[in-house]
Amino acid sequence: MELFLQQLINGVTLGSIYGLIAIGYTMVFGIIGMVNFAHGDVFMLSAFIALILLLALQQMLGVFAPVLSFLIILVGAMALTGLWNYMIERLAYRRLRGSFRLAPLISAIGMSIFLSNFVYVMQGPRNKAAPPMFDKVIKLTSGSSYDVTLSYKQILIVVVTASLLAVFWFIVQKTPLGRAQRACEQDAKMAALLGVDVDRTISATFVIGAALAAVAGVLYLTYYGVVNSQDGFVPGVKAFTAAVLGGIGSIPGAVLGGLLIGLIETFWSAYFSADYKDVAAFSILAITLIFMPSGLLGRPDVEKV
């Protein structure tokens, strides 16, 4: 029972990070019908931005203040990563929006390779460690084999994720930007005829998706304490799997899919073999596409005539 509870806590924590990344995939796909395969590397880039800001703050302040440092790097990483993704959308995607369907996909893969190699050249191949933050642990239960614990960083991840999702839900449902996003999702041409600035709406969507990926990058760095230039691919593909599992195009589905992938990964590691946890997560993608192409909360495509 202790093992189950501990892996449940670990799975929800990991799934929260995947869910934040998955929202970026599902937002872009929902509006322009394109899978942004560079999104995982944007997440990796945001983790490196957070690490650089954290080390710079430590040098400037002379002392390490975890709460203040976390808030500053969170805002800074969101702003810088959002700006970077805005540039990616303008340079790599906007001009290809009306071309054949493979062109934006090839451009996205090329941008993913560029970002991965750019960080590799700038930071090197080794893991980069961050100063530990929020390492205190709360003991929940005492078991015969080991104790069930809940760390402060796990609480932080779940609270930040839930808070941001609430804010994001409000933006999508209650603001002019959210109405413009939903109009573009329904029919971009008709939205443009009704006065919606489609280009600005899509750019804002890329910025918001990158900001959420930046939050995931900061939380990832806080949770694991290390980051590598190759850390964008596997979490990115798992987040994409989460978006497909939940129903790509559905924001609640992306969060649900992220939680399910996190739980599957942690429980598989605990009860079977950690060597095959990635296989278990990726197998879900194939099974979902075969038996449930629209995902758990997705809507089947309806051809417009």
Q: What percent of the chain has pLDDT over 70?
A: 96
Do the domain assignments include residue 247? yes
272 half-sphere exposure, CB direction, 13 A CA radius = 11
Tell me the average pLDDT across 200-226. Answer: 92
What confidence category does residue 62 fall into, taking pLDDT thresholds of 50, 70 and 90? low
Question: What is the DSSP annotation of 242-285?
Answer: HHHHH-TT-HHHHHHHHHHHHHHHHHHHHHT-GGGHHHHHHHHH
Dihedral pair phi/psi, residue 221, rounded to 5°: -65, -40
Residue 144 lies in a domain: yes
pLDDT at 27 over 80: yes
For residue 20, the domain's CATH number is: 1.10.3470
Distance between CA atoms of 243 and 253, rounded to whole angstroms? Answer: 7
Q: Would 297 be classed as within a structural domain?
A: no
Strand segments (E) across the chain? 128-129, 137-142, 147-151, 226-227
pLDDT of residue 144: 67
Overall number of domains in the chain: 1
> Does the model's pTM come out above 0.85?
yes
- Report whether pLDDT(65) > 50: yes
Q: Provide the pLDDT for residue 305.
A: 45
Q: What is the DSSP pairing of strand 226-227 with strand 128-129? A: antiparallel
Domain assignment present for 296: no
Residue 303: inside a domain = no
Residue range(s) defining the domain that contains residue 59: 2-291
Contacts of 219 (CB under 8 A, 6+ apart): 16, 17, 20, 156, 157, 160, 161
State pLDDT tens for residues 240-284.
889 888 888 788 888 899 999 999 999 988 888 778 888 888 887
Q: Which of 45-49, 213-217, 232-236 is predicted least confidently? A: 232-236
In a domain, 263, yes or no: yes
Q: Where do we find the tokens 């609270």?
A: 159
**Tens of pLDDT, residues 79-118:** 999 999 999 998 888 888 777 778 888 898 899 999 999 9
Report whether pLDDT(120) > 50: yes
Does any domain span residue 301? no
Domain contains 13:
yes
* Average pLDDT over the chain, rounded to an integer: 86
